[in-house]
């Protein structure tokens, strides 16, 4: 290996290690001792009620040319949390029919880095009072007796960011 | 031993006597209704009204159509004018395909919405609406 090839390889290795670190996330706590990472710098709003823990995160309006937004909700669903993943996937796809002009693909099972199992679906819809289609990634992750919904919406999706958010789900102190 | 037998026999005779006396105290039940004392009609003021034989007015069966008064009194389809026939034929002559299709589409949309709502509740996403769309 000559010196030129060595430098090129080192550059590739450096680029690969930067990519594997993923998008920068800040950890925040949901109910039930569950934590999730939201993109750094995004503003957080809490819409939690007695039944649901709901967090909304959006970039500042000046820095949101892709119309990104994130919703993370945790709902107590003991009966549904024990259902097979295939059935949760069917519910997930059926739930998208509520969206106007929706077109979604088949559900895909997933297992997060911390071992939570779930299912995700991707598609697009045209929001009310909008004339452009928005894309959406929606994952449902099983956490003991609860279901966690991670909904990422944007005109152009950053799939790596969504994967990082779903993978960031963990128990406090994990 | 003999004394005991004699005592038992006496007690048995006493029981038989008591039963026969108690049955003979009251007359049989069917004899009560036949007594002339109980055969009384309730008193009324005025005179009882009875319908004339054959002039009774029986209650009409509500599910039986009224008598139109014979075949000559009936209107036949051929007796109608063209305009009247059009009214009678309404719903038969018109093509209802579009109307039925509209109803089918509307009911299918309602069923889809209900199914989606149910699925949202199952996964706990029912309160999120359309989500955030900046």
In tens, the pLDDT along B64-105 reads 988 888 888 888 999 999 888 888 887 676 788 899 999 999
Contact A73 B131 (CB under 8 A): no
CB atoms within 10 A of CB A145: 13
Q: List the one residue out of A93, A172, A82 whose CA is nearest residue A138.
A: A93
**Which residue in chain B has the smallest CA separation from A98?**
B116
**pLDDT for residue A9 is more than 60:** no
Contact B132 A140 (CB under 8 A): no
CB contact under 8 A, A67 and B134: yes
**CA–CA gap between residue A170 and residue A141 (Å, rounded):** 11
Which pLDDT score, from 0 to 100, does residue B91 have? 66
Packed helices A85-95 and B97-123: angle between N→C axes, nearest 10 degrees = 130
What is the pLDDT averaged over residues A4-17?
Answer: 42
Average pLDDT, chain B: 79
Residues A50, A44: Cα–Cα separation, whole Å: 19
Interface-testing mutation among A31, A95, A149, with chain B (most B C-beta atoms within 10 A) = A95
Measured over the CA atoms of residue A91, residue A97, residue A98 and residue A102, the dihedral's sign is positive
Q: What's the mean pLDDT when you consider all of chain A?
A: 85
pLDDT (mean) for A46-72? 85
Please determine, for residue A17, whether its predicted confidence score (pLDDT) is greater than 60: no
The b/e string for B64-100 (b: 16+ C-beta within 10 A; e otherwise) is eeeeeeeeeeeeeeeeeeeeeeeeeeeeeeeeeeeee
What residues does A146 pair with on adjacent strands? Answer: A76, A143
Cβ count near A57 (within 10 Å): 22
Choose from A30, A60, A98 for mutation: most chain B CBs within 10 A.
A98
Question: Using 50, 70 and 90 to split pLDDT, how confident is the model at B114?
Answer: very high
Closest by CA to A70, choosing from A156, A137, A167, A123, is A137
Question: Hey, which of A31-35, A148-152, B13-17, B38-42 has the most confident mean pLDDT?
Answer: A148-152
Per-residue confidence (pLDDT) for residue A12, from 0 to 100? 39
Of the candidates A69, A98, A130, the beta carbon closest to that of B120 is on A98
Which DSSP letter does residue A6 get?
A: H
Rounded Cα–Cα distance for residues B70 and B65 (Å) = 13
CA distance linking residue A115 with residue A69, whole number of Å: 25
Residues in chain B whose beta carbon is closer than 8 A to a beta carbon of chain A?
A: 112-113, 115-120, 122-125, 127-128, 130-134
Cβ contacts of B132 on chain A, cutoff 8 Å? 56, 58, 69-71, 153
Q: Kindly tell me if the per-residue pLDDT of A1 is higher than 70.
A: no
pLDDT at A20: 46
Reported ipTM: 0.80
Q: Do B116 and A88 touch (CB under 8 A)?
A: no
Contact list, A68 vs chain B (CB under 8 Å): 134
Alpha helices (H) along A42-116: 78-81, 85-95
Closest chain B C-alpha to A43 CA, distance in angstroms: 13
Query: What confidence score (pLDDT) does residue B95 get?
Result: 80
Mean pLDDT confidence for B36-48? 76
């Amino acid at each position: 290996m000559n010196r030129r090839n060595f430098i090129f390889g080192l550059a590739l290795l450096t680029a690969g290690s930067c990519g594997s670190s993923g998008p920068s996330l800040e950890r925040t706590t949901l109910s039930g001792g569950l934590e999730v990472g939201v993109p750094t710098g995004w503003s957080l709003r809490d819409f939690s009620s007695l039944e649901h823990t709901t967090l909304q995160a959006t970039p500042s309006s000046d820095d949101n040319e892709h119309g990104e937004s994130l919703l993370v909700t945790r709902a107590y669903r003991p009966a549904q949390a024990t259902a097979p993943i295939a059935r949760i996937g069917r519910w997930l796809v059926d739930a998208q029919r509520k969206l106007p002009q929706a077109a979604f693909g088949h559900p895909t099972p997933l297992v997060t880095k911390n071992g939570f199992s779930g299912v995700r679906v991707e598609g697009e819809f045209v929001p009310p009072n909008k004339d452009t289609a928005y894309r959406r990634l929606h994952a449902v992750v099983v956490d003991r007796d609860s279901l966690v919904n991670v909904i990422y919406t944007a005109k152009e999706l950053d799939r790596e960011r969504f994967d990082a958010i779903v993978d960031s789900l963990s128990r406090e102190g994990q | 031993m003999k004394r005991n037998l004699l005592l038992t026999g006496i007690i048995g005779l006493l029981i038989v006597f008591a039963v026969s006396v108690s049955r003979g105290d009251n007359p049989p039940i069917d004899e009560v209704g036949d007594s002339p004392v109980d055969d009384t009609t309730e008193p009324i003021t005025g005179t009882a009204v009875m319908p004339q034989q054959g002039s009774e007015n029986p209650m009409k069966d509500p599910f039986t159509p009224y008598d139109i008064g014979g075949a000559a009194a009936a209107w036949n389809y051929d007796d109608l004018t063209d305009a009247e026939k059009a009214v009678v034929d309404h719903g038969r002559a018109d093509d209802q395909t579009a109307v039925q299709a509209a109803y089918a589409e509307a009911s299918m949309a309602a069923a889809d919405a209900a199914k989606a709502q149910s699925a949202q509740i199952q996964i706990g996403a029912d309160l999120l609406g359309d989500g955030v769309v900046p």
